[in-house]
Chain A
Amino acid sequence: MSKPPDLVQGTLDLLLLKILALEPLNGFAISQRLKQVSRDVLQVSDGSLYPALHKLEQEGWIDSEWKASENNRRAKYYSLTRLGRRQLEREAHQWNRLSAAISMVVKMKQV
């Protein structure tokens, strides 16, 4: 139940990195932002969000910092590191290749 059925395996990392590439955010804001930019198509369950974030942090791809949030409470804000930026490029590139390949297959006309 922790893995949302609608997220392709391995794409969560890419999504999180991409979102954090724009600006540092806290966990809750990340899930909001994801829903918002994907127009509610993609959503990550609260349960799998944090382990995923912690994994990225331990890999050295994102950094964290405690800051005051917009509602003036202390929250943990994640931001991309240099390593993370490179990882994002790599994963984005892979994703592009993969999705292009998949769409080619899907668009293939019946012979």
Chain B
Amino acid sequence: MRLEHWWYTVPLRLRSLFRRRQVEQELDDELHYHIELKTEEYLSRGMSAEEARHAAMRAMGGVEQRKEECRDTRRVRYLEELILDFRYAGRSLRHSPSFALTTILTLAVGVIGTTLVITAYNALALRSLPVKDPNGLVVLKREARKGGTGTAFSNAEFRHLSEHNAVFEGVVAEAEYSTVLAQLPDLDRARHGEPRQILTKLVSENYFSVLGIEAIAGRTFTPQESPGGNPVAVLSFSSWQRRFQADPGVLGQTVLLYGTHVTIIGIAPADFVGTGLPPVPPDLWVPLRMEAMVEPGRDRAAHSEEPRFRLVGRLKPGIRPQRAQAGLTVLVQQLETRERLEPLTAAVKGDPPAYFIEPNNPQFRALSLLLMGCFSMVLLIACANLANLFLARSAARRKELAVRAALGASRGRLVRQLLTEGVLLGLAAGSLALMVSPWLCDFIWMEIQERIIFRFTDLYVFTFRFTPDLRVLAGTFAVSVVAGVLFSVMAAVASSRVDFRDALQDHVAQWTTNRRWLRVSGRDALITAQVLFSLVLLVNAGLLARGMVRGQAALPGLETHHVVDIEFSGIENLGFDGEHAAALREQLAEKLSALPAVTGVAFADHVPLLGAGTNTISVAEGSTERAFDNHISPGFLSVFGIDLVQGRDFTAADLARHMSVLIITESTARHLWPDENPLGKIVLVGKTRAPMEVIGVARDACTVALGRVEPFYLYLPAAPDAPLADVFVRTRGEATSSIPLILGTAASIDKNLTSLASVHSMDDALWFQRLPSKIATLFALCVGSLAMFLASVGIYGTIAYAVTQRTREVGIRIALGATPISVLGLILGRIMKLVGFATGIGLAAAALVSHVLTTLPFGLSSVLLFGISPKDPLAFAAIAFFLALMALSAGYLPARRATRINPMEALRYE
């Protein structure tokens, strides 16, 4: 019934809308046909031609009125008016392109900023794992008795939990990534390629089935995969694309892992990136029971209890994570008692698995709050601008509105017209944001990958989608339109309060303005808000920028330019463990030192500037202090150009005899023995409080983080047979130019060494240290200049407009005998009062916010500010001065123009 109704009516409505001219013509024809026939009828009754026509017209009672009545029946009037409104709005915006452009840009800029932050947050924290029913999954977390939480569990705990729990349908375990040397199948030549590093991940055999992942080709693991059977692995989609050009022939081929043939039995789907954080898919997933193939060099007996698995459980239907917790805690504690292990576990919790970052990671939270804060401030400034722009425009259009009202437009109709304009602007800004933000997101992510991630490794492929999703885009659009509507309504309400007759008569309203000069108006509040927000953003941007300048110039106190760092990963899998590692060290040191370009070779556990071990130190009678440490070989200090202030370096003999000696830094010495000679003193190191003798004092250097000297830092002798990790080579010339030579030398010992090595100049480490401040500053400068741009437009526009509006008044004052100087003084004084007030509040707020910068947790402040005080007077003064200058020039130019105008002209102004 309803449908049939539409069948008839919809074409009619469409026709009325889109064939309007024809419909109108037909209406006209129809009515005139009637009138003609009627005229003929009257004629036949004997009336004169003119009389007949008049009578016919009279009977109709006014053709135009009838036409209107007929049009009313078409039910499209509202739509027609809407279209007219849009056309009119479009026309009137075209007539003031600067207003339209400023509004659209302002709004779009504000909205795009927030879109970016929300997109990033969304992509980092809110995405759920791409598995079947991710809500049913929990990641197990251990709350340690000593405090702190971790997600690592041992193999025994995994087995125990999966056998005895009552709450999970299944529990899966995954180890950390392992970098392995593999010979991938070369499909074209039907043999294996050269050995190269790939990423593998050990997972329990039920991994794919519990997560509900089906292979897109081949199969996933079955519970029967056993250590004795044929070794198998599942290939990740990104690896399939990258390393095999998506050739399906790879199924059933084997990868050579340290001599073992591992068959590729399946390819994982494209969106499955694993369950690890961050979402980097490995090349291969390998069943846990086959770990001996992936890490043949690993001493599994010694590390059997090492907690190295992340556990993810799928809850049975209807079981809440909270309910699962108690039982799991008991199970783990049971195992600890049974195996007589150290009781570590206070509780086991299950949290929903995150995709990239745990949303309640405090560091991430602080950072995202900061970002959101910045961009909401930008959005607020943009909104203040919009409010100003709309108010100014509606004031300027008072006359036009008054004319339309006088011609019979109802107030509602006028408001609707203004609203349409707002909607149109909002739509335009929204579309702009919609077009720009996905592109911008792509661009930013490409830059990050290009400049940061790929600089260090191409092994890790982040499957990170930094693209605004539909919800975010819809939100973006909605916010733009709502902002457009909101501000146009506000302006409409403000202007509809005006008496239109006054507006037409041009008019008394401005005459009584003297008092309004002094009153705090909405516009004053807006100016204040703009100055305030932009001050906060600008001052902090300024601080960060000054911090960066200092940070880029800050020297670590150790040589980076001439040092190459070679990192060997998983080298024990090639058989270089224990004695072999010691032999390899000797060989490397010998062969590398023989190179003419090399002046020194050293080994250490940690790369300065990139990492350090943690330890404790105490003297017999003193308290225990937390300290950083590094196990180094003899010659390490001289390779890095760290001078010994006192005492001597380690010798090969110290290392060989496992002497209990150590070298401390100046700062450590100062803290422990302020006025004594530290040489020969005994310190107690580590949990066991092993006594060690101080044999040397090294100059302080920023070994952990740039711009910071650790109070306690220990250099300990490296055991000669410890696994080989990092080799440092001091070169004569530029470090990077010697890299091929160094790699060639390593290859001459074992050709597989080069494939396991990643080589960098230590300058890269320095660059990495400087990166956070660079990024933060870049970001702060972006936000700051955005704020500055918006604030300049807003403040200048508002003040200039307000002053221009006073042109008449200025003219009258001058006509009445005021000197131009006194009038200028009046106007500028007023502006200065306002801006001074706003600047005062703004500076206080900025100081408050920048104080927060220094209290940032995790040492962020020293990384970002490099010792710049948060109350750096230069940054504050410069920015306050800039804003005041802008406000003054915004007021001065139009005011001066006003004083120059002939008073008579001023009176006629507008």
Residues of A at the B interface (CB closer than 8 Å) are: 1-2, 26-28, 45-47, 50-51, 54-55, 57-60, 63, 66, 73-76, 81-83
Q: Tell me the bound Cα distance from A1 to B60 in angstroms.
A: 10
Q: Which of B33, B38, B60, B62 is within 8 Å of A75, CB to CB?
A: B33
Contact B30 A58 (CB under 8 A): no
B38: chain A residues within 8 A (beta carbon): 28, 46
Residues of B at the A interface (CB closer than 8 Å) are: 4-5, 7-9, 12, 26, 29-31, 33-34, 37-38, 56, 59-62, 65-66, 69-70, 72-75
State the Cβ distance, A88 to closest chain B Cβ, in Å: 15
Contact A51 B69 (CB under 8 A): yes
Known: A28-B37, A50-B34. 16 other contacts (CB 8 A): A28-B38, A46-B60, A46-B61, A47-B59, A47-B66, A50-B70, A51-B69, A54-B73, A57-B12, A59-B9, A60-B7, A60-B8, A60-B9, A63-B8, A75-B33, A76-B30
A76: chain B residues within 8 A (beta carbon): 26, 29-30, 33
Q: Tell me the bound Cα distance from A17 to B342 in angstroms.
A: 96
Q: Which of B9, B33, B62, B65 is within 8 Å of A58, CB to CB?
A: B9
A82: chain B residues within 8 A (beta carbon): 4
A59: chain B residues within 8 A (beta carbon): 9
Cross-chain pairs A/B with CB under 8 angstroms, 30 sampled: A2-B61, A27-B33, A27-B34, A28-B33, A46-B34, A46-B56, A47-B59, A47-B61, A47-B66, A50-B30, A50-B31, A50-B34, A50-B69, A51-B66, A51-B69, A51-B73, A54-B70, A57-B73, A58-B9, A58-B73, A59-B9, A60-B8, A60-B12, A63-B8, A66-B26, A75-B33, A76-B26, A76-B33, A82-B4, A83-B4
State the Cβ distance, B301 to closest chain A Cβ, in Å: 87
State the Cβ distance, B8 to closest chain A Cβ, in Å: 3
Q: Tell me the bound Cα distance from A50 to B26 in angstroms.
A: 12
Q: Tell me the bound Cα distance from A1 to B72 in angstroms.
A: 18
B59: chain A residues within 8 A (beta carbon): 45-47
State the Cβ distance, B101 to closest chain A Cβ, in Å: 42
A66: chain B residues within 8 A (beta carbon): 26
B8: chain A residues within 8 A (beta carbon): 60, 63, 81, 83
B26: chain A residues within 8 A (beta carbon): 66, 76
State the Cβ distance, B113 to closest chain A Cβ, in Å: 49
B31: chain A residues within 8 A (beta carbon): 50
B5: chain A residues within 8 A (beta carbon): 60, 83
Q: Tell me the bound Cα distance from A57 to B12 in angstroms.
A: 9
Interface majority SS on B: helix, strand, loop or mixed? helix
State the Cβ distance, A28 to closest chain B Cβ, in Å: 5
A63: chain B residues within 8 A (beta carbon): 8
A56's nearest neighbour on chain B, judged by CB, is B73
Contact A74 B29 (CB under 8 A): yes
Q: Tell me the bound Cα distance from A63 to B7 in angstroms.
A: 12
State the Cβ distance, B640 to closest chain A Cβ, in Å: 89
B30: chain A residues within 8 A (beta carbon): 27, 50, 75-76
Q: Tell me the bound Cα distance from A26 to B38 in angstroms.
A: 13
A58: chain B residues within 8 A (beta carbon): 9, 12, 73-75
State the Cβ distance, A84 to closest chain B Cβ, in Å: 9
Of all A-B residue pairs in the complex, the 4 with the closest CB atoms, nearest first, are A60-B8, A47-B61, A51-B69, A55-B73
A1's nearest neighbour on chain B, judged by CB, is B61
Contact B61 A54 (CB under 8 A): no
B69: chain A residues within 8 A (beta carbon): 2, 50-51, 54
Q: Tell me the bound Cα distance from A27 to B36 in angstroms.
A: 12
B4: chain A residues within 8 A (beta carbon): 60, 82-83
A45: chain B residues within 8 A (beta carbon): 59, 61
Contact A51 B34 (CB under 8 A): no
User: With A28-B38, A54-B74, A60-B8 known to touch, is A47 a contact of B60 (CB < 8 Å)?
Assistant: yes
A2's nearest neighbour on chain B, judged by CB, is B61
A27's nearest neighbour on chain B, judged by CB, is B34
B75's nearest neighbour on chain A, judged by CB, is A58
Q: Tell me the bound Cα distance from A18 to B436 in angstroms.
A: 61
Contact B66 A50 (CB under 8 A): yes
B33: chain A residues within 8 A (beta carbon): 26-28, 73-76
A62's nearest neighbour on chain B, judged by CB, is B8
Contact B61 A51 (CB under 8 A): no
A81's nearest neighbour on chain B, judged by CB, is B8
B72: chain A residues within 8 A (beta carbon): 51
Of residues B8, B31, B65, B66, which shows the largest number of chain A Cβ atoms within 10 Å of its Cβ?
B8
State the Cβ distance, B334 to closest chain A Cβ, in Å: 78
B74's nearest neighbour on chain A, judged by CB, is A58
Q: Tell me the bound Cα distance from A76 to B27 in angstroms.
A: 9
Contact B60 A51 (CB under 8 A): no
B66: chain A residues within 8 A (beta carbon): 47, 50-51
A50: chain B residues within 8 A (beta carbon): 30-31, 34, 66, 69-70
State the Cβ distance, A100 to closest chain B Cβ, in Å: 28
Q: Tell me the bound Cα distance from A29 to B560 in angstroms.
A: 103
Of residues B9, B34, B66, B70, which shows the largest number of chain A Cβ atoms within 10 Å of its Cβ?
B34
A28: chain B residues within 8 A (beta carbon): 33-34, 37-38
A73: chain B residues within 8 A (beta carbon): 33
State the Cβ distance, A36 to closest chain B Cβ, in Å: 13
Q: Tell me the bound Cα distance from A81 to B8 in angstroms.
A: 9
Q: Tell me the bound Cα distance from A81 to B34 in angstroms.
A: 23
Of residues A45, A50, A59, A82, which shows the largest number of chain B Cβ atoms within 10 Å of its Cβ?
A50
A26's nearest neighbour on chain B, judged by CB, is B33
Q: Tell me the bound Cα distance from A27 to B553 in angstroms.
A: 92
Q: Tell me the bound Cα distance from A52 to B29 in angstroms.
A: 17
State the Cβ distance, A77 to closest chain B Cβ, in Å: 10
Q: Tell me the bound Cα distance from A82 to B1 in angstroms.
A: 11
Q: Tell me the bound Cα distance from A76 to B70 in angstroms.
A: 14
A46: chain B residues within 8 A (beta carbon): 34, 38, 56, 59-61
A69's nearest neighbour on chain B, judged by CB, is B33
B75: chain A residues within 8 A (beta carbon): 58
B29: chain A residues within 8 A (beta carbon): 74, 76
A81: chain B residues within 8 A (beta carbon): 8
Contact B9 A51 (CB under 8 A): no
A51's nearest neighbour on chain B, judged by CB, is B69
Q: Tell me the bound Cα distance from A82 to B4 in angstroms.
A: 9
A1: chain B residues within 8 A (beta carbon): 61
Q: Tell me the bound Cα distance from A22 to B31 in angstroms.
A: 23
State the Cβ distance, B372 to closest chain A Cβ, in Å: 52
B60: chain A residues within 8 A (beta carbon): 46-47
A82's nearest neighbour on chain B, judged by CB, is B4
B71's nearest neighbour on chain A, judged by CB, is A54
Q: Tell me the bound Cα distance from A66 to B27 in angstroms.
A: 12
Q: Tell me the bound Cα distance from A2 to B38 in angstroms.
A: 17
State the Cβ distance, A82 to closest chain B Cβ, in Å: 7
Q: Tell me the bound Cα distance from A42 to B178 in angstroms.
A: 98
Q: Tell me the bound Cα distance from A58 to B17 in angstroms.
A: 13
B16's nearest neighbour on chain A, judged by CB, is A58
Q: Tell me the bound Cα distance from A75 to B26 in angstroms.
A: 9
State the Cβ distance, A31 to closest chain B Cβ, in Å: 8
State the Cβ distance, B137 to closest chain A Cβ, in Å: 56
Q: Tell me the bound Cα distance from A58 to B5 in angstroms.
A: 10
B7's nearest neighbour on chain A, judged by CB, is A60
State the Cβ distance, A52 to closest chain B Cβ, in Å: 9
A75: chain B residues within 8 A (beta carbon): 30, 33
Q: Tell me the bound Cα distance from A54 to B59 in angstroms.
A: 18
B70: chain A residues within 8 A (beta carbon): 50-51, 54
State the Cβ distance, A51 to closest chain B Cβ, in Å: 4
Q: Tell me the bound Cα distance from A28 to B35 in angstroms.
A: 9
Q: Tell me the bound Cα distance from A75 to B69 in angstroms.
A: 20
Q: Tell me the bound Cα distance from A1 to B73 in angstroms.
A: 19
B61: chain A residues within 8 A (beta carbon): 1-2, 45-47
A84's nearest neighbour on chain B, judged by CB, is B8
State the Cβ distance, B365 to closest chain A Cβ, in Å: 60
State the Cβ distance, B163 to closest chain A Cβ, in Å: 72
Q: Tell me the bound Cα distance from A75 to B36 in angstroms.
A: 11
B36's nearest neighbour on chain A, judged by CB, is A73
State the Cβ distance, A92 to closest chain B Cβ, in Å: 19
A83: chain B residues within 8 A (beta carbon): 4-5, 8
B8's nearest neighbour on chain A, judged by CB, is A60
